[in-house]
Every structure is written in structure tokens, then in C-alpha cells.
Structure 1
């Protein structure tokens, strides 16, 4: 860890004795290098790869950014196996711009991702690609676009690595300490890991309650970058495994709960990427890490938990543990960090999987401007978001008769969960990102492979970059 990505460079000259890739648009219509290639069996559909001796044709469809991500990903998958070349030249068409390069490089870097715990050697794949442009004056622009895309791809890949790691390895201590070790290698980024004793002293009742049923105690990770500029705080759910606790989950699908810390992984990866790119902004990442287990010391439905800062929550379902740990971290951020923007990201509710499916994240915020910024950031980096409402008619449902708040109010689950979290955001501009659907995939599509998708990390980096301008 982290997984090695395919290297990409931009140049104005092709190389000798290196396989060549010719782009084919829908039709098909061949780009540079296509003279003499038989097109009778080609369609130009995005991702279509056909070998012609030492030349390949690669379909780029109608030229949308989605088509280029698909094309890049399928190319790397095709250039794999026993006879995989070490490198190849992709001959760009004259209309290639920065947006197309970013999409293509994201596909190239992520399409060949593989996570497998095995004693066997990994299958061979192409190690690098050269993107060859005929426009000598545009090389610098395309290189800049490729470098940014590769950095974003690295964030996504690390998020996948962390989320895919089996939970017999990945406990709260491992997740926090691994992030801290990675942070040590990046200039300007610092990490502090707090243990269960500190959490108890500080009153992190939500984290302690959720982690109380496990023999592997909770941790609290704080990553800090920058000292000037707007202060953005990202909070990520770090549940390293989720049995549901006493409100135990069905056995079917529980093995996938190793990825229930995908929000925390996205925050960790985003902080590393922001620091590596040296963005002129102050960013803090908070990841409350806990394992929600079933035992005699597990928290119970009916318990009243006191969060950091003093607010209390009536527990109704121990499987709604994500909001319990996020509440502590958000209250800590508001009180101690004075953020200009607070964003939490979590695989929080199955309701959002029903509402939006498995490829779109949910955005909850009372700010029209902030909602637009998140959606736009996602568009820029190839992640889909949809704004969901914070319905006023359900606000009162969050109030408890025996505590300050109810953990699982009646009503639409994703919305009431967001309304609960809103109570801990204070007066800070805040957005809640529910990634329960797109954080995992069972299918291969575009740059996505089966398993953890790494969704959300790129959007957080893009959002931070927007605030640094």
C-alpha cells in the first residue's frame, strides 16, 4: 500500500518499437495513425479495444468525459496479461483538451486497479502510457491536466486500498496509525492519533459507545495541513467493521462491512492529496475510528449517550452507529477548530441506496451555494452527486423525550439522519455527504472495479481547491 498506478506522460513525439494506440470515435472515425487500418469490424464505441498486430484501436465514443474515462480504463485492462507491453503510445486527436486528458488519465490510472490478498504474483499489465499530442504549444496544458488527474487517481486508489483491507487487519488502531505513517512522508501534513483514554477524558461518548462492544478500542485521528487561508474541516466515518451491534445486521452482505470506513478513507486520502499538491488553504481531517461489535459491553437501544460538548442522544438502533461517531467529531470541530466550512462524508444510510442507486452520492445542506459547489466539484472529477432536501416537517422528530436528540427519528431515513447531524454543525456552513450507494460496487464500469470504489475522495480535493482560490 498504496497500490502502484499506471504512469502517464505527455509528449509531442511517438517512440519506436512501442505499441501504438489509435483513437476511434463513433462511426468509426480514426484519429492520427489510423491510415491503413480496416474499420469494417469497428464501431468506435467507448472502450472498444481491438488489436491490429502492434497497433491498437481504442473507441472513445462520442467524446464525452465519461467516454474518455471508460476508454482509458478499458485500454489498461486490454493491455494486461502474459504479453502485456511495458509501455504504449496513445496518439491524441487534435481536439483533445485538458478536460478530456483528465478524464482519460483517471480511467488509465484506476481501470487496472486490483486488490487481492494472495500468495500468487499479480497479473502483468502495462506500466506506463505516453499521450502524444501534435500540438507543441498545448503540451504544457495537457501535462498539467494529466498530473492533476493522476494525483486525484492516487487519492481514489488509496481510498480503495484502505476500504478493501480485511477487518482482521484493519481495526481502529491500524486505520489511524496507517494514516499517520502516510502523513509523515508528506511535507506540511501532521497527524495526531488519540486513544480511548483521551476519548474518555474529553467526553467522546458517541465514539466510546459504538466502540465499547469490541476488544479493539476506538481511536480518533486528526490530520492537519496549512496555517493560512480558509479553514476547511472534513469529517469521515471510520467504522472499521460494522456488525450492527445488538441491532445486529443480517448475515447476508455483512462481509462487505469492511468498507464501512470508506468516508474516513476518503478524508485521509484527500488530506494527503491536498498536502502533496501544496494547495494554499488550511484543511483538517477528522476520522473517528471504531469497530461496532456485539458483546456484553456493547451499547444498547434505549441508552442515553453524552457526546463531546454535552449534548445527549437517545439510542434507538445500534446499527445507526455512524451518526454517533460523526456527532462527536463535528462537535469537536465546531468548538476547537472554528472552521469556515464543515463537510462530513459517510456510508451512512441504506435509504440513500434506495433513493439514488449505487452510482450517485447524496448532498444535504441548507446552503444552495454549497450544494452547487459540491455537485460542480463532482462533475469536474467524475463523481455524481444529487442534492437531497432537509425537510422542515421532520425537524421536530429529532427531539427526544428523555434526551436532547433521537438517534433514529421516524420518517425518511437518509433525511432524518442528516437532520440529526445538523444539530452538531452549529452555525458553521455544513454539508453532509452520504456515500452508502457509490462507495462499493459489484460491477466493473468506467474506471470503477468491483469492491471499494474510492468515491468521494476526488470531490473533497476539488472542493478544497475551490476554497483555496
Structure 2
């Protein structure tokens, strides 16, 4: 990760005289984008930039943009030379100063987002559900987070029929990752639960995707990566609020043991789903996790994050996430958090008139009710939360970038990680 620091007065390690950064906009989101573009023009090694007048949230945003714009992922044996460090001149580098705190805040936030990107960008040949669980434990437990990894035997004993059905076709069995941050002094009445879709690869199953549509499906666990990365930031900042992240992780593979159209899945808690399309698998695993959260964790509020529907990409494009919520207050909080983190959301309705499309002759609902696809997907999920204040973030568009753009590099973007930690911090 690109190292950004305040330059000491006698610091002469920069490769060249400090380059001035001028005409930065007032909006932190625009500052991040400008810094991301600047990062890709930096030479290899150490550079120096002068940023007179940049402070507070704009300085934090500038650091985030530099680090995330300079993010690289790959397995090339001879990678292109990359910048490794930027010394910022024109800021107060005194230990404990407001500028140093703003820089450190930006570095921590960018590091968590970079980790989310690493998880998303890792190829599926490596990234099995068990691998994802082990990465979560290795990254979060040293920060004081308790990570419980529930295997396929526990899932069967507890009745996680959705996760087991989706993972049935893979040689790599599914997992439920349960990561808990419970600091001393946290208010007992508040428990926020983050649920992230963890499909480590999605072939579509029996309703198989075409080749082009399958190429990026190693990033179909971006929602899971976002909630884990948010929890990392929450723990690093020692936020005084109880937070649990749940990631139902499975590989939707195609084999003789795959679940099939026409199957009926019994979720955790007993609700049933008729499978009409095996490529609508995200909502099947999320249903289990949402039901478990309500029954076992007694949450104050639940937010789930998922690359759920292609319909959302059509509706909102590749920069904005879709927001569905049962609580206006929760929706407003998340919209504000997205504005602050530079990860914008747009709220969409859940009209009850579309609920009839979910009807099934053999189950409580069918999993492929048709258009409007993002709305009917949200309506499918709503019964699992049983009245708990809930928001669903469909990030199918902004979770992946087709090309370098501002602070986003091609591939997984880590969208949602900073948004969620910003929301929890405001709640705390």
C-alpha cells in the first residue's frame, strides 16, 4: 500500500522538490477523485507533494484518494514500477497534530478498503469459502474481533438450507463467517448487524451464465468483503458500539450435486423458497443469514450489502449503489454516510403491488419473480428480517470498475467498506 506521511521540516528523502497541488475542490468526494488521478501519475519510489491549506476532512479525503488511486493488484512476475511513498509538505507533521490525525485516519480507511479490494480481486481458484473465512480471522482477530467460522456440518445442524443448497455443487463446502466486535462499555441496547453476500464464484449453477458474464464472478463476494473491511475499521477506531458482521460464503458451482430449478429450499427459521433460477443465488444465502441475525443476535438494525442484481446496474449505472429500507431514519443515515465517504446511494421504493410476483404454489416465495428485478429482490428479502429496522444495499454496479477511474482501479472497488464504518461511527 502506498505510504503517505507528513514531511518533517528537515526531510530530504523525497526524490524531487515538492510538487504543488493546487485548485483542489471543496467537496471531499471530488478531492478523492482528483487525488486518485494524481496517484497514477506519480513516479516509482518516493515523491513529494505540497498541499498548503488542505486540512480536516479534505486532507483525509486526499490521503484516501492517493492510496486508493495508487492501489495495484496482480500476479505479474515483473510488475511495473510503482510509487511507494508520498511525503506531504505544507501540513503540520508534529506528532499528535490535527493534520497527522487526519492523515492517519485516511490511511486506516484506505487500508481497510484496499483489503476489501484484495479479497474481491483474488481469483476463485484460491478464494474458496474456507479461504475467505481464514483471511477474515487472520485480519480481524489481532484487532480484537471475535471470528467464528461455521462449517458445513454446523450449517446442516442449524438448518441453513439456503447456504447449503447454493454451495452443494462445489467441491469447496460453504461457510458462515460470524465476526463480532463487542467492546467494553458498549451500550447494551445497541447491536448493529452487517450482512454481506459471500459468493466466492458464481457460475450461475444449472442456469449457467455465459462466458463474458462469468469472467468477473470471483468478485461476487464484494458485499462480504465490504462488511469485513468495515468491521476492521470499526475495531481499529475502537468505536463503542456492538457490531457483528455475517458473511454466508459459498461457491455457486455446476455439477451433478448442484441445486436445481424446481427445488424447494428451507431456510434457517423455516421459511421456504421455490428455486426458479439458480443464478438468483445471492438472495438465497442472504435469507439464511438475515433470519439467523434476527433470531440469534437481537439486532437494533440490520444492513445487508450484496452484488445482487443486474437490474441495479441498468437503473443506476456503475457509480451509485441502490438503497432499500424499511426505516426512513435508517435510510437517511446511510444516505448521509454515503455522501460523507464518497460512496453514493440512491433510495428506491419497495411497492407492495409487486409482492404478488413472489407467489409460489409450493413454497412461501419464489426466488426469481422478475422485473423490476432489484425491487422484487428486496421484497424477497424483507420477510426474513421480521420487522427489525433493515436496509438492503445493492452494489452490483459500483462494486466493480471496468477501468481506472478517479480513486478506483480496474477490478474490485471495495465500495461500501468506508460507507458502513462511517455509518457506525455516526451511530456510536
Same fold (TM over 0.5): yes
Q: Helix, strand or coil for the counterpart of 2:180?
A: strand
Deviation of 1:370 after TM superposition, in Å, equals: 1.1
Which residue number in structure 2 is paired with residue 115 of structure 1? 73
User: Which residue matches 1:238?
Assistant: 198
Tell me which residue corresponds to 2:178: 222
* SS of corresponding position for 1:342: strand
After superposition, give the CA deviation of every residue in 1:181-200 in whole Å (9 maximum; x if it has no partner): 222321x2111111111111
User: Does structure 1 residue 334 correspond to structure 2 residue 297?
Assistant: no
Whether 2:385 is the aligned partner of 1:385: answer no
Find the counterpart in structure 2 of residue 212 from structure 1.
168
Deviations 1:45-84 (A, max 9, x none): xxxxxxxxx453445454432332133223322223xxx3
| Correspondence 1:100 to 2:58 | yes
Q: Which residue of 2 is the match for residue 201 of structure 1? A: 157
Quick one: which of 143, 146, 156 aligns to 1:190? 146
Taking a change above 3 Å as real, the CA distance of residues 214 and 435 of structure 1, as seen in their structure-2 partners, is same
Do the aligned residues in 1 keep the contact of 2:20 with 2:51 (CA within 8 Å)? Answer: no
Match status 1:431 vs 2:391: yes
For residue 368 of structure 2, what is the aligned residue in structure 1?
Answer: 408
| Cα distance in 1 for residues equivalent to 2:92 and 2:153 | 61
Query: Counterpart of 1:374?
Result: 334
Change beyond 3 A, Cα 1:143–1:67: same
Maintained 8 Å contact 1:303/1:315: yes
Any gaps of 5 or more consecutive residues in structure 2?
none
Q: Write the mapping of 1:313-332 to structure 2, written as runs, cut at 5 A.
A: 313-332=273-292
- The structure with more radius of gyration: 1
SS of alignment partner, residue 238 of structure 2: coil
Q: Does residue 181 in structure 1 map to residue 103 in structure 2?
A: no
Higher relative contact order (CA closer than 8 Å, sequence separation 6+)? 2
Relative to structure 1, the CA distance from residue 292 to residue 92 in structure 2 (aligned partners, 3 Å threshold; closer, same or farther) is same
Structure 2 residue corresponding to 1:365, chosen from 311, 325, 345: 325
Provide the residue aligned with 1:45 in structure 2.
Answer: none
Residue 397 of structure 1, CA deviation: 2.5
Offset from partner CA, 1:264-309 (integer Å, 9 cap, x none): 0111111112111111010101001100011111111111100000
RMSD over equivalenced CA pairs, Å: 2.0
Deviation per CA, 1:330-386: give whole Å up to 9, x if none: 000000000001010000000000000001001000222111111110111111111
Number of aligned residue pairs: give it.
Answer: 424
Question: How far did 1:145 drift?
Answer: 2.2
The change in CA–CA distance for 1:143 and 1:180 in structure 2 (over 3 A counts) is same
Quick one: distance in 2 between partners of 1:85 and 1:324? 47
The CA distance in 1 between the partners of 2:408 and 2:10, in whole Å, is 29
1:6 aligned residue (2, 7, 11): 2
Q: 1:258 to 1:61 in 2, by over 3 A?
A: same
1:12·1:139 contact (CA, 8 Å) conserved in 2?
A: no
Q: Residue 319 of structure 1 aligns to a residue in which SS?
A: coil
- Counterpart residue number, 2:308: 348
Q: Shift of the alpha carbon at 1:139?
A: 7.8
The answer as to 2:407 corresponding to 1:447 is yes
Q: Counterparts of 1:459 and 1:134 in 2: how far apart (Å)?
A: 28
Please state if 1:421 is matched with 2:406: no
Helix, strand or coil at the partner of 2:305 = strand
CA distance in 2 between partners of 1:126 and 1:295 (Å): 45
2:261/2:278 contact within 8 Å kept: yes
Contact kept? 1:239, 1:292, Cα under 8 Å: yes
Judge conservation of contact 2:56–2:99 (CA < 8 Å) in 1.
Answer: yes
> For the residues of structure 1 that align with 2:77 and 2:3, how far apart are their CA atoms?
25
Question: Runs of 5+ in structure 1 lacking a partner?
Answer: 21-53
Shift of 1:419: 0.6
Local SS of the residue matching 2:169: coil
Corresponding position of 2:128: 171
Matched residue, 2:213: 253
Counterpart position of 1:24: none
Residue 32 of structure 1 is matched in structure 2 by none
Q: Take 1:349 and 1:306, find their aligned partners in 2: how far apart are those partners?
A: 22
Residue 169 of structure 1: how far off its partner (Å): 0.5
Query: Deviation of residue 124 (structure 1)?
Result: 3.2
Q: Quick check: 2:2–2:71 contact (8 Å CA) kept in 1?
A: no
> Equivalents in 1 of 2:10, 2:332: separation in Å?
41
Q: Once the two structures are superposed, what CA deviation does each residue of 1:232-265 show, in whole Å capped at 9, x if it has no partner?
A: 1000000000000011111113110000000001
For residue 115 of structure 2, the aligned residue among 142, 146, 158 is: 158
Per the alignment, do residues 122 and 317 of structure 1 end up closer, same or farther by CA in structure 2, a change over 3 Å counting? same
Alpha-carbon distance in structure 1 between the residues aligned to 2:85 and 2:242? 35
Distance of 1:139 and 1:181 partners within structure 2: 29
Q: In the alignment, does 2:262 pair up with 1:302? A: yes
